[in-house]
Amino acid sequence: MIDDMRHHLQIIPIPAFKDNYIWLIHNGHRAIVIDPGDAHPVFDTLSRLKLTLQTILITHHHQDHIGGIKTLMGKYPDVKIFAPKYESYDFEHTPVSEPDVINLANFNIEITLIDLPGHTLGHVAYYVAHHNPPWLFCGDTLFGAGCGRLFEGSPEQMLNSLQKLATLPTETQVFCTHEYTLHNIGFALTLEPNNTALIQRQHDTLKLKSLQQPSLPSTISLELATNPFLRCDSAEIQSAIQLNNATSLQTFSIIREMRNLY
């Protein structure tokens, strides 16, 4: 749990399905949830903490990110839902995309939209720049030591989206929506076995797993040091795929295909 005394906000990861996280932000009274694919664990958490659901943020249209919304709307008919402008949804919502800004006065936060095509064409992230440290809710674009599959977008789109995130302040906390970190690290080590930061991250993640704790949030700094999809200019990675002096796009395209089979 992450506690911010200045805004009196807490962020809680709610496990769902096999490896999803539904992130919940609350101020002790009201709550925001991000990508509620399953309503039941959200209900359980809201009930346990005596919270009222006020806002839902959606990063993209896949069912494991939206499947609980209609059930949540049934119990919280006044909930405000924000979802990507360039995707279709069959529930009432406010369409948003870059450079929109969402002001949530009850939480004293301002959320900036970032367009991230690749995993899906309309995928967005929600970024709280004024928080210290900043928060990034990036759905299935950037994972711990990995990135999302290309279901709709092109390698070029996904690489551009990842490079956009790589320019955020290094202390930014990364709240992605799947617990894939350890498996992603295993793949990354096949490309950069001599990366000491990556080796340390594997050790740290194994320790968290032994304690049954999430490996998330990550940080942009940690991803820059250990995530192969943000390190396409690494000589060791290019050597591993036998493609020296390749462009970042060439490297990204190859390692994304390799990760699909890992």
Weakest-pLDDT range from 116-120, 124-128, 244-248: 244-248
> Could you tell me if 182 and 202 are in contact, meaning their C-beta atoms sit under 8 angstroms apart?
yes
Using alpha carbons only, give the angle 222, 142, 86 rounded to the nearest 5 degrees.
150
Per the listing, tokens 């807490």 go with 10
- pTM equals 0.95
The domain spans of the chain are 2-261
Could you tell me the pLDDT band of residue 189, with boundaries at 50, 70 and 90? very high
Q: In this predicted structure, what is the pLDDT of residue 8? A: 83
Q: In this predicted structure, what is the pLDDT of residue 242? A: 94
Q: What is the DSSP letter of 226?
A: H
CATH number of the domain at 2-261, out of 3.90.320.10, 3.60.15.10, 3.40.50.720, 3.40.640.10? 3.60.15.10
260: buried, middle or exposed (CB in 10 Å: 19+, 13-18, 0-12)? exposed
Average pLDDT for 92-98: 98
What's the whole-number average pLDDT of the chain?
A: 96
Q: In this predicted structure, what is the pLDDT of residue 3? A: 42
Q: In this predicted structure, what is the pLDDT of residue 244? A: 85
pLDDT, one tens digit per residue, over 140-166 is: 999 999 999 999 999 999 999 999 999
Which amino acid type is present at position 93?
A: H
Higher pLDDT, 7 or 60: 60
Could you tell me the pLDDT band of residue 2, with boundaries at 50, 70 and 90? very low
Write out the H or E segment, with its range, that includes residue 2: strand 2-4
Buried b (16+ CB within 10 A) or exposed e, 67-105: bbbeebbeebeebbbbbbbebeeeeebeebeeebebebe
Which amino acid type is present at position 21?
A: Y
pLDDT, one tens digit per residue, over 35-47 is: 999 999 999 999 9
Average pLDDT for 240-257: 95
Could you tell me the pLDDT band of residue 30, with boundaries at 50, 70 and 90? very high
Q: In this predicted structure, what is the pLDDT of residue 96? A: 98
- The yes-or-no verdict on residue 29 having pLDDT over 90 is yes
Average pLDDT for 78-91: 98
Cα 234 to Cα 256: distance, rounded to the nearest angstrom: 15
